[in-house]
Every structure is written in structure tokens, then in C-alpha cells.
């Protein structure tokens, strides 16, 4: 592939989303505009922003990409099918109820069920998890720029920091949603066209599979318990991710919320297999590269010039769109869920809007610092997903569907889920078990036990 063409594709994408971001500056007049785009998103835009937000660096650098390179396409596809699509199906059936609540954040739902103390705890845990997810988006962009354009990883990380911060700073969810929509179109085009062409050029799947380790061609690989360790964090994040709930709050109405969920599911189902087989093709052709650079290397070195350039821009879009979403959500947690709710509840809308923009800058810088402490994208991805899934998703879903979701159950579960995740990571994952295998079931059991007991006590007092 012609590297200069890829360079201009990436630059063109950066210019386009910068223009879109700047365009929406004047559209944002209130805090509600900044956080939930004035509740104006159509189903098709909603589908694009849901897909682009979810499938970022964790997809094209970590997740299906790294798992396929390390263990084979079938392992990655199984992990993907039993995590993201299953979680999206759950949210599809909850989308109407979520939109009907008329809230602005997942923390609003938690407070309505468990009280203000639970909201504070949830907001802090969300910030910790989201900073982790945000941080590896910077690394993801850096990997793309390094593998395709020769930009050093440190320099690429700074470029990512600047671009992602700008989009979040300018138009809030308006900018993020519409740049996400453009990114989703680019993703589908680049991967669904580029990966089959790359496999064909390389001699076809029959030839490539002959170059792979035998265990990559079966459903074997890591043990079932390790597979579960990869499935649970992703499944529980997608079912409780505040980014997704905020998108449903931003929909025009309940019907558009459902359409958005359907489009999101379609995007996941067609994209993940393409990522998995593309990464496996890279494993056959380039067996000694870092796993996180598999899809990037295939795009840069195998695909024809035009398709490769589009694919590189698409991979960049994957990462940037997710980064803009998480920088916005983390700033929302900081300014709206903590500052406004607990420190300055009399703050004017104008003050909160201005503070939200500067909050974007602050959390972006924190994410940049955090990424220096994790060796791989997959490592920080699993840690962040597990933290969120164990501590937040369990209580959030319970708030929507379980009448025994009491304040005592919510607060206890968040503390136990978050603590067990951190402790298990600090201990170095004893017995080789991923922290999600331990912390998520522990959180669920805690929720059921404490919820049942406290609910009975509540009825006894009445």
C-alpha cells in the first residue's frame, strides 16, 4: 500500500471530524445540549454513534483483534458472540424503558433507586473505569499512526490526545454523535471490503489457514474458564455502559431508541468476524508482530492502495470515536454527577456548560497519564471492563428490573465489586483466573443476598 495515500486518508478523516466538531459549537447552548444532544438523535445516527462508541481500540487493537491473533478466529468470535451481541439484545428490550425515564446519565437511575450516596460512589467508580478505557484509545491511535505512517508511539499518543479532546470540547454529544456516525460508515466500508480483499490477495483462506498453528483452527485454545474471563467483563460493560444509556436518553423518542439498538446489533454482528479473520490473516503472514497491531499491519502492508487507505482511516475512526465518547462521559461524571450534585447544586446552566468543556480537557490529560502504566491495550481493557461490570452494571440492571434493589444492596454491591476487582488485580490474578471470573459473580451474589434481606426487613417495618 502507498503509505502517503494512507497518510492523506487519515489526515482527511481528522480534518473532516474537526470541521464537524467545530460546526456544532454554536448548536450547544445548554448543559442538556452538551450531554444528550438536546434529545434530538434519529435512529440511524443513534445506531452509528452506538456502534462507533462501542467498537473502538478494544476492538481493532485489543478484544477480537488480539484474541484472534493469539488464539485463532473462532475463539475471538465465540468471545464476541457471547458478550457484545448478547448485551445489545438485552439493551434492545430495555431501550424503551430507558428512554422513557427521561434521565441524563446512568447515575441518575442509580440515585433514583439507591439514593444520593450510591450516586456518588457510582460516579467515582465510573470515572476510574472510564479513565482506563479512555487511556487506551490514545494508545490505539498511536499504534495506527506508528504502523502505517511511521509516527512514533509517544508522538501518536499526543496527536490522539489533541484530536479526541477537541471533538469532546467543542460540541459535546452533538459533535461526538455525528462524528461517530461518519466513523461508523467508514468502519463498515473499510473492514467489510478491505479484509476479504486482503485475504484474497494473500492466497485465500485455505492458504492462510495452512500457515496458522493447528490450535488456531479449532474451538480450542485457552481453557473454558479463561474464555469466561474474557466474556463476562465485556458482556457486563455493554449492558451497563453509561455511554449507551446516554445515547438512548438522547434519542428523539422511544421508537428511535429501539431502531438505534437494532442498527448497533447489526454493526457488531457483521464487523467482529471481519476483525477476527483479518487479525488471523495477519497472524499467518506476520507471526512476529505485536498482537495489537495485527489488523493495522494487514491494512497497511497487504491491502491495495485505495482500500488500504480507507481501512487505515476506518481503524483510526474506530479508536477516535470511542475516545471522544469516553472523554465526554468522564467529564459528565465529574461535572454533573459529582460537582453539580454534591458540591454546587445552585450552579447555573452556563457555568456547568463551561465547566464541562474544561472537564473534557482535564480528564483527557488524566487518561494520557494513566496509559503509561499499562503494558498492553488488552490488559487495561479487561481491568476497566471488569471494574465497571462488577460494580456498576449489576446495580444498574437491578434498578431497572428487580424490585428488591434496595439502597443497602446497591451500595454494598458497588463497594464489593470494585474492591474485589482491584484486590484480585493487585494479587496478580491468582490461579490464572481473570478478575471478572471472581468479581462479577461475587457482586451478583452480594446484590441478591443483601437485596433480599434488606427488602424483607423493609416489608417487616411497614
The per-residue pLDDT for 149 is 73
Top mean-pLDDT range of 18-22, 281-285, 374-378: 281-285
Instruction: Give the range of the structural domain holding residue 315, as residue numbers without chain letter.
Output: 3-376
Ranges assigned E (strand) in 294-348: none
**How far, in Å, CA of 109 to CA of 102, rounded?**
10
The per-residue pLDDT for 59 is 80
In total, how many domains does the chain have?
1
Identify whether 444 is part of a domain.
no
**How far, in Å, CA of 412 to CA of 398, rounded?**
13
Q: What is the CATH number of the domain that holds 293?
A: 1.20.1730.10
Can you tell me the mean pLDDT for 278-284?
95
Can you tell me the mean pLDDT for 310-336?
86
CA-based Rg of the chain, rounded to a whole angstrom? Answer: 21
Residue 162 banded pLDDT, cuts 50, 70, 90 = very high
> If you count them, how many residues does the chain have?
462
Note the pLDDT tens digit of each residue in 81-106.
788 899 999 999 999 899 999 888 88
Can you tell me the mean pLDDT for 227-234?
84
Identify whether 38 is part of a domain.
yes
Can you tell me the mean pLDDT for 48-68?
82
Identify whether 441 is part of a domain.
no
Identify whether 47 is part of a domain.
yes
Mean pLDDT of the chain: 88
Top mean-pLDDT range of 135-144, 215-224, 241-250, 377-386: 241-250
Half-sphere exposure of 166 (CA within 13 A, CB side): 18
pLDDT at 237 over 90: no
**How far, in Å, CA of 437 to CA of 233, rounded?**
8
pLDDT at 57 over 80: no
Q: Is 431 exposed, middle or buried (0-12, 13-18, 19+ CB in 10 A)?
A: exposed
Identify whether 427 is part of a domain.
no
Query: Between the CA atoms of 228, 285, 269 and 63, what dihedral angle is there, to the nearest 10 degrees?
Result: 40
Rounded alpha-carbon distances, angstroms, from residue 269 to 80, 83, 290, 435: 9, 11, 26, 27
* Sign, Cα dihedral of 225, 230, 233, 237: negative
Q: Is 93 exposed, middle or buried (0-12, 13-18, 19+ CB in 10 A)?
A: exposed
Can you tell me the mean pLDDT for 323-342?
90
Can you tell me the mean pLDDT for 299-307?
86
Identify whether 391 is part of a domain.
no
Residue predicted with more confidence, 56 or 433: 433
Identify whether 104 is part of a domain.
yes
Identify whether 251 is part of a domain.
yes
Amino acid at each position: 500500500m502507498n503509505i502517503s495515500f494512507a497518510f492523506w486518508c487519515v489526515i482527511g478523516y481528522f480534518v473532516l471530524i474537526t470541521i464537524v466538531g467545530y460546526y456544532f459549537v454554536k448548536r450547544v447552548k445548554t448543559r442538556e445540549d452538551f450531554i444528550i444532544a438536546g434529545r434530538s438523535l434519529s435512529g440511524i445516527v443513534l445506531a452509528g454513534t452506538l456502534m462507533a462508541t462501542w467498537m473502538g481500540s478494544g476492538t481493532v487493537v485489543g478484544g477480537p483483534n488480539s484474541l484472534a491473533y493469539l488464539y485463532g478466529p473462532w475463539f475471538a468470535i465465540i468471545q464476541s458472540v457471547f458478550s457484545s451481541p448478547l448485551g445489545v439484545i438485552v439493551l434492545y428490550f430495555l431501550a424503551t424503558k430507558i428512554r422513557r425515564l427521561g434521565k441524563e446519565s446512568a447515575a441518575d437511575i442509580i440515585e433514583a433507586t439507591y439514593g444520593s450516596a450510591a450516586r456518588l460512589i457510582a460516579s467515582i467508580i465510573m470515572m476510574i473505569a472510564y479513565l482506563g478505557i479512555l487511556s487506551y484509545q490514545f494508545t490505539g491511535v498511536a499504534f495506527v499512526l506508528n504502523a502505517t505512517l511511521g509516527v512514533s508511539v509517544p508522538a501518536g499518543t499526543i496527536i490522539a490526545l489533541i484530536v479526541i479532546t477537541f471533538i469532546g470540547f467543542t460540541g459535546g454529544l452533538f459533535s461526538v454523535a455525528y462524528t461517530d456516525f461518519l466513523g461508523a460508515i467508514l468502519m463498515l466500508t473499510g473492514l467489510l471490503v478491505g479484509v476479504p480483499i486482503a485475504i484474497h490477495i494473500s492466497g485465500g483462506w485455505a492458504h492462510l489457514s495452512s500457515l496458522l498453528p493447528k490450535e488456531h483452527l479449532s474451538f480450542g485454545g485457552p481453557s473454558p474458564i479463561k474464555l469466561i474471563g474474557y466474556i463476562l467483563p465485556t458482556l457486563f460493560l455493554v449492558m451497563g455502559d453509561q455511554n449507551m444509556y446516554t445515547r438512548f436518553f438522547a434519542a428523539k423518542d422511544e421508537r428511535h431508541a429501539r431502531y438505534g439498538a437494532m442498527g448497533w446489533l447489526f454493526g457488531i454482528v457483521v464487523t467482529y468476524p471481519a476483525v477476527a479473520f483479518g487479525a488471523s490473516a495477519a497472524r499467518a503472514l506476520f507471526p512476529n508482530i505485536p498482537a495489537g497491531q495485527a489488523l493495522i499491519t494487514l491494512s497497511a502492508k497487504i491491502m491495495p492502495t485505495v482500500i488500504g487507505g480507507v481501512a487505515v482511516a476506518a481503524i483510526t475512526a474506530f479508536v477516535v470515536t470511542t475516545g471522544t465518547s469516553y472523554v465526554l462521559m468522564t467529564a459528565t461524571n465529574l461535572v454533573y454527577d459529582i460537582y453539580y450534585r454534591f458540591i454546587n447544586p445552585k450552579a447555573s446552566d452556563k457555568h456547568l456548560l463551561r465547566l464541562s468543556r474544561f472537564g473534557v480537557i482535564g480528564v483527557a490529560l488524566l487518561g494520557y497519564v494513566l496509559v503509561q502504566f499499562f503494558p498492553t491495550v488488552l490488559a487495561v481493557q479487561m481491568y476497566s471492563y471488569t471494574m465497571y461490570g462488577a460494580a456498576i452494571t449489576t446495580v444498574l440492571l437491578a434498578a431497572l428490573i428487580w424490585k428488591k434493589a434496595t439502597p443497602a444492596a446497591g451500595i454494598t454491591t458497588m463497594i464489593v465489586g470494585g474492591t474485589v476487582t482491584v484486590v484480585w488485580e493487585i494479587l496478580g490474578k491468582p490461579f490464572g483466573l481473570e478478575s471478572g471470573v471472581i468479581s462479577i459473580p461475587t457482586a451478583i451474589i452480594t446484590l441478591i443476598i443483601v437485596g433480599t434481606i434488606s427488602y424483607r426487613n423493609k416489608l417487616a417495618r411497614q
